[in-house]
Amino acid sequence: MRCIGRDRLNGSSGNDTLIGGGSIDRFIFNTNEEFQSEDVGIDEITDFSQTQGDIILLDLTTFTAIDSSSGTGFRIADEFAIVENNQEAATSDAVIVYNSSNGRLFYNPNGSTASFGSGGRFATLTNTPSLEAEDFFLRN
């Protein structure tokens, strides 16, 4: 999927490659139902850029373990964490966890319990940007 200009990129089921292009892009993760790995797949975002204002949009209908309210980023700051290996991602207290060493983005609804429970990896930011809580937007 390649687009140019201000785009909304909505990965479909299975593994998609999402290429935003040179301006503001919204990378949308929404299945219209509760998260299931096979519905989302693992989407690759190749060119996430904070300087362009790119945003990752998470739908609360899908990411039901997020308690932060919609219409903004992570109001509950602890719901997003950055780690440096996949093991730390699985045992993090946060619901959305980013591995800054390999660009993997995880949904971790069971918190510090080992593994990701009903969640899992749903995206890889292949250019491994220094993702921050401000790069996310939550909606219903």
Closer residue to Ca ion (CB): 10 or 70 = 10
Buried b (16+ CB within 10 A) or exposed e, 111-123: eeeeebeebbbbb
The footprint of Ca ion (CB under 5 A) covers 11, 16, 20, 25, 41, 43, 49, 52, 54, 90, 108, 110, 113
In the complex, least distance from residue 75 CB atom to Ca ion, rounded to whole angstroms: 21
Q: How far is the CB of 121 from Ca ion (least distance, A)?
A: 12
Q: Nearest 5 degrees, angle CA 70-CA 132-CA 114?
A: 85
The pairing of strands 80-83 and 104-107 is unpaired
State which residue, 70 or 110, has the beta carbon closest to Ca ion: 110
> CB-wise, 25 or 135, nearer to Ca ion?
25
83 vs 133, beta carbon nearer Ca ion: 83
Min CB(27)–Ca ion separation in Å: 9
One-character DSSP codes across 51-104: TTT-EEEEETTT-TT--SPSSBS-SSGGGEEEESSHHHHHT-S-SEEEETTTTE
What is the closest distance, in whole angstroms, from the C-beta atom of residue 71 to Ca ion in the complex?
22
